[in-house]
Amino acid sequence: MPSTTKRLLNLFLRAATLASKFALIFALAKFLEPAEVGLYGLVAATIGYCLFMLGLEFYTYSMRELIASPPHAQPSILRDQIVFYLFTYALFLPPLILLFMGDFLPWMLVCWFYVLLILEHVAQELNRVLVALSLQLEASIVLFVRSGAWGLALIPLMWATPSLRELHAALAAWSIGAAAACALGAWWIVRKFEVQNPKPIDWRWIKRGVRIALPMLIAALAIRGLFTFDRYWVEAIGGLDTLGAYVLYAGIGNAVISFLDAGVVVFFYPRLVSAARTNDLLGYRTAMKSLRINIILSTCLLTTLAFSAAFFIVEWLDKPDYDENFHLLAWILAAMLIYGLSHTPHLGLYAQGRDRTLVLSQLAALVTFLISAIALNDSLGVTSVPAALCAAFAALYLWKALAYKEMLRELNVST
């Protein structure tokens, strides 16, 4: 297949995956009761957070090692990574039952939770390995099967078959999609390597990877916590019906960030990293100026379009819970606007390797969220949660912006 065709197909698959994810949440809001939508959002957010516990961000180390290694050494790296994940499974999977024992999630979903958590983690890691092995098209296909295809198949089935309009059908379709993605990814990876005599497990390599990945894990848990703890907080204050509305509007807000990442960030990231690594300060300054303008314009445009489109979406859904909680959308979009703007200093710092600053800023954001949600709870009720997100992302933006300016002074660069 010609390289141009591969790139276009790759872009199409990623765009289709993104579009199908948001089409699914709108379809679920239409066909399921708000309480079921809320529970679906709670399960999805919890699984997304627990993925970090299973993976410990080890891929940030292992994928660099895989890329830099010759083909004959790559199977051993993958084997050692599997050994590490078996250890994390044994360590973290059993305690997660406390989510059900503590009534954070209902017992009727315990099997779905564990099945989906394992399948999602395996599919995620296989996707990363495919990218590291320069099998980008195959990685996009796996991602589409895992996150897009099953949703596109489920929507017409729910429309045509009323008996499928329930939460378990959605979770079953998700499981099938994740399992198919695992099978595809594993097949492509196994095909790439010949059978070799296994080398001993490199425990020192694994320990070194854990030490390197740990700071990134802390940062990831902090920022992901904002998009997980908010769901539990809303459910505790307003119940599952209100959470259903919040999940829908959070999905609209997440669309803003997803399109910002896909349409702006992905194009500037390689330029910034390349300029930083080659000490090209002029190229770095030029890219940062262009990035700032693009992010400001794109974020403002996307949030405006999202808010306008939401009026028609809520009217189409025709369910009181979404209409009564429409005010939450304004707060969520305000939070996403601030978060989107914080991408500029974030990328500037990341390109220069200021990982410690990024970790501290994300920890500060999580602390700000928790303090703000508690302080505003009595006066704002459910609205305290998205308001706390606004405060958290404002703290995140301020921390990164100040650190970015200080870094520029150190580099003697003006932007």
237-293 pLDDT, tens per residue? 999 999 999 999 999 999 999 889 888 887 888 788 888 888 888 888 899 999 999
Q: How many CB atoms lie within 10 A of CB 207?
A: 11
> To which residue do tokens 């973290």 refer?
92
C-alpha distance from residue 343 to each of 141, 264, 266, 294, 349 (Å)? 28, 10, 11, 11, 10
Q: How many CB atoms lie within 10 A of CB 308?
A: 9
Q: Is 313 exposed, middle or buried (0-12, 13-18, 19+ CB in 10 A)?
A: middle
Q: How far apart are CA 337 and CA 325, in angstroms?
A: 20
> To which residue do tokens 């979404």 refer?
322
Structure tokens at 138: 């195959």
Residue 2 scores a pLDDT above 80: no
Residue 7 scores a pLDDT above 80: no
Comparison of pLDDT for 317 and 8, the residue scoring more: 317
Structure tokens at 290: 């262009």
Quick check: 20 and 151 in contact, CB under 8 A? Answer: yes
| CA-based nearest residue to 56, from 224, 221, 227, 225 | 221
pLDDT grade for 142, boundaries at 50, 70 and 90: very high
Quick check: 318 and 373 in contact, CB under 8 A? Answer: no
pLDDT grade for 35, boundaries at 50, 70 and 90: very high
Which pLDDT score, from 0 to 100, does residue 281 have?
A: 86
What torsion do the CA atoms of 368, 322, 32, 146 make, to the nearest 10 degrees?
Answer: -40
Residues near 67 by Cβ (< 8 Å), separated by ≥ 6? 132
Q: How many CB atoms lie within 10 A of CB 96?
A: 17
Percent of the chain with pLDDT over 90: 77
Q: What is the mean pLDDT of residues 333-354?
A: 93
Mean pLDDT of the chain, nearest integer: 93
pLDDT grade for 414, boundaries at 50, 70 and 90: low
> To which residue do tokens 């200021």 refer?
354
Which pLDDT score, from 0 to 100, does residue 277 have?
A: 80
pLDDT grade for 197, boundaries at 50, 70 and 90: low
Q: How far apart are CA 206 and CA 204, in angstroms?
A: 5
Axis crossing angle, helix 34-55 with helix 74-92, rounded to the nearest 10:
120
pLDDT grade for 343, boundaries at 50, 70 and 90: very high
Which pLDDT score, from 0 to 100, does residue 1 have?
A: 66
Residue 143 scores a pLDDT above 90: yes
pLDDT grade for 327, boundaries at 50, 70 and 90: very high
What torsion do the CA atoms of 374, 377, 378, 380 make, to the nearest 10 degrees?
Answer: 150
- CA distance from start to end of the chain: 42
Residue 89 scores a pLDDT above 80: yes
What are the phi and psi torsion angles at 224 (to 5°)? -70, -30
What are the phi and psi torsion angles at 51 (to 5°)? -60, -35
Model-level pTM? Answer: 0.92
Q: How far apart are CA 15 and CA 9, in angstroms?
A: 10
Residues near 237 by Cβ (< 8 Å), separated by ≥ 6? 377, 381, 382, 384, 385
Which pLDDT score, from 0 to 100, does residue 14 have?
A: 85
Q: Per 3-state DSSP, what percentage of the chain is helix, strand, and coil (rounded to 5)?
A: 90, 0, 10
